[in-house]
Structure 1
Amino acid sequence: MEKDETVILAGATGYLGDYIAQELYQRSIQTIILARNTKKAAHLANSHTKIIKSEVTDSKTLHGYFEGVTTVISTVGITRQKDGLTYMDVDYQANKNLLQEAKKAGVKKFVYVSVLNGKQHRNLKIIEAKELFVDELIASGLNYTIIRPNGFFSDMKDFLNMAKKGKVYLFGSGEKKINPIHGKDLAIACVDSIRVSNEEINIGGPDILTQNEIAELALLASGKPINIIHIPHWIRKSILKLVRTFTSSKTYGPIEFFLTLMAEDAIAPRYGSNRLVTFFHDEMDVLKP
């Protein structure tokens, strides 16, 4: 079945999108990558993959590429805004542009990557736009899969960056749990989901860890002694109130997201084989001269 697929992939120059492009190639699936920066995506070009210059926030640049396509996979979204674009411009409208072109061309399936517990956190600026698009996708009439990861290994680099300086700062007791997932494992699940009909899939990695345990892994990988500083939750709440009051959504969006999710468990069904401890050590090896 998969080899009869033609997939449009949007978001291929991001952490997860890159792995999805590699997984599609491994399965010999014909792929069209839509990229604003074709140089950044050039390493993904191969006998089964074509790179098209396109700006997903501008629907005019999408016309004509969806004919004969069977599935769209989108990881399009921003965590730190740039170029003056908002979450609504990218996480909502850009994905809506893709959906509209898919519908016009008779595409059968749309796979979208959102976030775990998105429905419960629609009050957060980053998630509000994602979930508005989820609503559009479910109502579209297309066969869909919504992938809901709880966190990427790449997100855990924040722990590693603190660890390299000798201290990791956590809010509260540090006992909140998460099982983040490697992009390679998540990419396999995303491509597998082409065969799934109208489902939302919550997904995480194989190891459920407390924030304290993640901090310890990061410090050990960095060759530093265990030094974890616990900051009271009232300070976290005060920071949230200040950034919401005195900064724009462009500034407070990522801070709001991070500070809110650091205060709760984010455990999803376990999947994959890549371990966070290996990722941390690999990241440190890359930095060695």
Structure 2
Amino acid sequence: MPRVLVAGGTGFLGRAFVRGLHRRGAQVAVLTRNPAGAGRLGLPAEFVQGDVRRPGALASAMRGVDAAILSVQFPGYPVEAPARGRTFMEVDARGTAALVQAAVEAGARKLVYLSGVGADPGSARTWYRAKGLAEASVRDSGLDYVIVRPSWAYGPEDRSLNRFIALIRGIPLVFPQLGDGSGRITPIHVDDLADLVCEATLGSAGDGLTLEAGGPRVLSLDDVVRTAMAALGRRRAILHIPAGLAKLAAACAELLPGQVLSRDAVDFVTQEGVADSDPARRRFPAFCPRDLATGLAEYVSRT
């Protein structure tokens, strides 16, 4: 029975990975800053303490691990809080590099890194740059690896698309859409993504590859909203809020305590993210993501 550590296993994606690994018979450990709190999530896993911003103790947390899934995010993602060390560069880039080094020191065999469509160490966008640097750490580790670049993942426990659902339910007549709504994405249900990640972790079909993962259809952000409305049985006019106006509000929000909104976060949530999933489907023939309408219908009530 392989032992797999999931770094970021208490997050939205990580929880799906933990459950998928458990169903496949793996022994699962979750790296977390707060094992006692994580234990209340009811996940079928052992919880080990570790913090990617304190790399000294990570190797001991990795001891006895055959493979590690690296899927860490900072609290408040994607709104950064530099004073608290909650940034893409600190967590995604340097944190992942620390995990890679710990895995090497602990004798792990394989790494699976959750990156993102568009990752590029030379990008002007800090989140793409951080993911690209993290990918380089994984590739240079000397271990077997798979890099998965998902598009926008959604599901019953996510915060992003479910925020759209809440707005449709809570605001009459209109839906406030940041930007012009033309950004194209390929939404993927988190369970479909988890199936790919778990098979890549426990098998060898994806070793040495960088695989994009998205749903079967390219949708605009406005298409996503309309699909959510249809799932709810509600109709709203889409009111586009110019990105410049949203960034002006975000600049004011940056002065407030907490991680409310930021100008970079406006760019993050309106960016494109089209995944080419054909290589993943060729390597993993069972990988057949459901479309957004089907995925939403499974958990969104028409009330």
Q: Provide the C-alpha distance between the structure 2 equivalents of 1:252 and 1:188, rounded to a whole number of angstroms.
A: 34
Q: Provide the C-alpha distance between the structure 1 equivalents of 2:300 and 2:237, rounded to a whole number of angstroms.
A: 18
CA gap of 1:238–1:174, structure 2 versus 1, over 3 A, is closer
**What is the one-letter code of the residue matched to 1:142?**
L
The 8 Å contact of residues 179 and 208 in structure 1, kept in 2 or not, is answered as yes
Q: Provide the C-alpha distance between the structure 2 equivalents of 1:106 and 1:120, rounded to a whole number of angstroms.
A: 27
The 8 Å contact of residues 220 and 226 in structure 1, kept in 2 or not, is answered as no
Summarize deviations over 1:93-119 as a string: whole Å, max 9, x none: 221221111111221211110100212
Q: Please, which of 15, 32, 37 is the counterpart of residue 35 of structure 1? A: 32
Q: TM-score, normalised by structure 2?
A: 0.78
Cα distance, 1:247 vs structure 2: 5.3
Cα distance, 1:135 vs structure 2: 1.6
What does residue 21 of structure 1 align with?
18
CA gap of 1:217–1:178, structure 2 versus 1, over 3 A, is same
The 8 Å contact of residues 113 and 147 in structure 2, kept in 1 or not, is answered as yes
**DSSP-derived class of the 2:84 partner:** coil
Cα distance, 1:228 vs structure 2: 1.5
Q: TM-score, normalised by structure 1?
A: 0.82
1:157-236 residue pairs with structure 2 within 5 A? 157-164=162-169, 165-166=171-172, 167-170=174-177, 174-194=181-201, 195=204, 196-231=206-241, 235-236=242-243
The 8 Å contact of residues 121 and 128 in structure 2, kept in 1 or not, is answered as no
The 8 Å contact of residues 186 and 272 in structure 1, kept in 2 or not, is answered as no
RMSD: 3.0
What does residue 288 of structure 2 align with?
272
Q: Provide the C-alpha distance between the structure 1 equivalents of 2:47 and 2:273, rounded to a whole number of angstroms.
A: 39
**DSSP-derived class of the 2:188 partner:** coil
- Alignment of 1:62 with 2:58, yes or no, is yes
CA gap of 1:277–1:52, structure 2 versus 1, over 3 A, is same
What does residue 50 of structure 1 align with?
46
What does residue 264 of structure 2 align with?
253
How many residues are paired up? 275
Summarize deviations over 1:170-227 as a string: whole Å, max 9, x none: 4676454322111111111111112222110011023433333222122233443231
Q: Provide the C-alpha distance between the structure 2 equivalents of 1:124 and 1:130, rounded to a whole number of angstroms.
A: 10
**DSSP-derived class of the 1:206 partner:** coil
Summarize deviations over 1:101-157 as a string: whole Å, max 9, x none: 111122121111010021288211222222211122222222211110111113323
**DSSP-derived class of the 1:8 partner:** strand
1:86-101 residue pairs with structure 2 within 5 A? 86-87=86-87, 88-101=89-102
Q: Provide the C-alpha distance between the structure 2 equivalents of 1:159 and 1:192, rounded to a whole number of angstroms.
A: 31
The 8 Å contact of residues 177 and 266 in structure 1, kept in 2 or not, is answered as yes
Cα distance, 1:255 vs structure 2: 2.1
The 8 Å contact of residues 72 and 107 in structure 1, kept in 2 or not, is answered as yes
Q: Provide the C-alpha distance between the structure 2 equivalents of 1:207 and 1:127, rounded to a whole number of angstroms.
A: 23
CA gap of 1:134–1:273, structure 2 versus 1, over 3 A, is closer
Greater helix fraction, Structure 1 or Structure 2: 1
Q: Provide the C-alpha distance between the structure 2 equivalents of 1:186 and 1:37, rounded to a whole number of angstroms.
A: 26
What does residue 283 of structure 2 align with?
none
Q: Provide the C-alpha distance between the structure 2 equivalents of 1:96 and 1:120, rounded to a whole number of angstroms.
A: 14
Summarize deviations over 1:22-74 as a string: whole Å, max 9, x none: 0110011112211113223444454xx31112223211332423233211101
What does residue 284 of structure 2 align with?
none
Q: Structure 1: 5+ residue runs without aligned partners?
A: none
1:8-157 residue pairs with structure 2 within 5 A? 8-38=5-35, 39-46=37-44, 49-78=45-74, 79=77, 80-81=79-80, 84-87=84-87, 88-119=89-120, 122-153=123-154, 154=158, 155-157=160-162
**DSSP-derived class of the 1:137 partner:** helix
Q: Structure 2: 5+ residue runs without aligned partners?
A: 279-286
